[in-house]
Amino acid sequence: MRLGSIILFVAFCSFTAYYVYEPIPDRIEERWKLMLTNSFFRTLSHLADLCESAGLKDYMDVMYVITLLEKIVPVSDEHVKVTEEKFDGVEVVLYQPKRQGGDAGLRRAVIYLHGGGWCLGSSRMSPYDLLARKIVTELDAVVLSVEYRLAPAHHFPVPYEDVHRVVKYFLQKGVLAQYSVDPGRVAVSGDSAGGNLAAAVSQQLQKESGQQIKLRAQALLYPVLQALDLKTPSYQQNKDMPILPRTLMVRFWSEYFTSNKALFRAMMANSHNSPESSRLLKFVNWSAFLPEAYHKEYNYSAPAVAQGTEGEAAGTDGPSQSFADPRASPLLVPDADLHSLPKAYILTCEYDVLRDDGIMYATRLRAAGVEVTHQHYDTGFHGALMFTVWPTDFLIARRMTDNYVKWLKDNL
């Protein structure tokens, strides 16, 4: 009996070690902590696949558990006043310093857009709450965290339109004055899908002739910026990396546009481009915009173009029109639309499928004359900056946060 218990215990430990272990590059810090963290994400993903296959629940509905586990009720503390409001019908969480401002009484402001692949995440998650408070206290700034509506309940362009409405509303003289914000010191920022929305709204505002108050800066943290080529070197190199494997990123993209699984299958094969969208592939040609060091052993091959009508191209009802839209894929804007954009901070991570999106955008912005600070983390992985809460707190997250806040302090 005792021997049997020992055998069962050893078998259980062996199975657990086998399940948790992943071939994570040695350069990544705190590898075992990342393996343990990612085992939870993988388990949830397997459960989501199972529930969807059985017709019990949609994949993203199950994955939303990640959001619920981190969700809090933001409350004021001795340094920060927190209120929940609606700006032009969109929910926002507003963080303001309690102490008085400087000589002029006007403060900086950061409009922050959370990540989560447009399907998950919330401004009310504890990592975003902590980040907002840090920005408020260290910059004496107002932080506006936007609770935009999520896919798949609200496909593109709804999340973008929510963000656009909030930014337009906030950038009114009367509204800025109400919160003691300097009209010349407002930035938009976001991580992952939030970085996508931040880049897109920055571009669109610059083109709107009636927009009197402009953004001073944009800070994009490992942003996702294009849906045309999902086999860049970073998508290939990092296809099985923790937190955001290629399969999950492709699923986020497809769910952003449609609930029709045909698009997911086409995007997985990188054969989702229509004749219309293929004309924009020149803007995401990584052989032209990616420094040689990031090409690695990969050779450029233009994505296949599906023939047929817009709807037939990807087996869906016309989403190819959407992923060719710069509001969804900011990397697709022509060079002429880049030169007037605000200064940019772009954070990228080596072990991230989205690495090349950020690097290509930094290359194109610089070529257009935009002031760019590109901070690349050789040991970084996707989502790292948000891992600041125990037990999934990582040292690299602290460094990323400190460098990001310092850039805001120096450039806003």
- For tokens 């990612």, what's the residue? 38
User: Can the peptide bond before residue 157 be classed as cis, meaning omega within 30 degrees of 0?
Assistant: yes
Q: How far does CA 14 lie from the centroid of its chain?
A: 36
Q: Which residues does the annotation mark as catalytic?
A: 192, 352, 382
Residue 138 included in any domain: yes
Residue 131 included in any domain: yes
Residue 198 included in any domain: yes
Please say if the pLDDT value at position 261 is more than 60.
Answer: yes
Please say if the pLDDT value at position 75 is more than 80.
Answer: yes
Check which CATH number belongs to the domain holding 160 and give it.
3.40.50.1820
pLDDT reported for residue 14: 40
Structural domain containing residue 141: 76-225+323-409
Query: Kind of pairing, strands 107-113 and 372-381?
Result: unpaired
Residue 246 has which token pair?
């290629």
In angstroms, rounded to a whole number, what is the distance separating the alpha carbons of residues 405 and 110?
Answer: 11
Going by pLDDT thresholds of 50, 70 and 90, the confidence category of residue 23 is confident
- Domains in the chain, number: 1
**Each residue's pLDDT tens digit, 197-254:** 999 999 999 988 888 999 999 999 999 999 999 999 999 999 999 999 999 999 999 9
**Each residue's pLDDT tens digit, 141-153:** 999 999 999 999 9
**Each residue's pLDDT tens digit, 109-131:** 999 999 999 999 999 999 999 99
Return the amino acid letter for 300.
Y
Return the ∠ at Cα 38 (arms to 35 and 40), rounded to 5°.
Answer: 120
End-to-end CA distance of the chain: 69
Residue 94 included in any domain: yes
Give the other-Cβ count within 10 Å of 4's Cβ.
8
Handedness of CA 393, 399, 123, 95 (dihedral sign): positive
User: Nearest to residue 176, comparing CAs of 189, 165, 186, 162?
Assistant: 186
Determine the length of the chain.
Answer: 412
Going by pLDDT thresholds of 50, 70 and 90, the confidence category of residue 319 is low
Residue 298 included in any domain: no
Please say if the pLDDT value at position 270 is more than 90.
Answer: yes
Residue 348 included in any domain: yes
Q: Considering the entire predicted model, what is its pTM?
A: 0.93
Question: What is the DSSP track for 4-64?
Answer: HHHHHHHHHHHHHHHHH-----TTSSSHHHHHHHHHHHHHHHHHHHHHHHTTSS-HHHHHT
Please say if the pLDDT value at position 361 is more than 50.
Answer: yes
Of 19-23, 52-56, 154-158, minimum mean pLDDT range: 19-23
Going by pLDDT thresholds of 50, 70 and 90, the confidence category of residue 26 is confident
In angstroms, rounded to a whole number, what is the distance separating the alpha carbons of residues 197 and 221?
Answer: 11
Please say if the pLDDT value at position 288 is more than 90.
Answer: yes
pLDDT reported for residue 299: 93
User: Nearest to residue 343, comparing CAs of 185, 192, 207, 226?
Assistant: 185
Residue 375 included in any domain: yes
Residue 346 included in any domain: yes
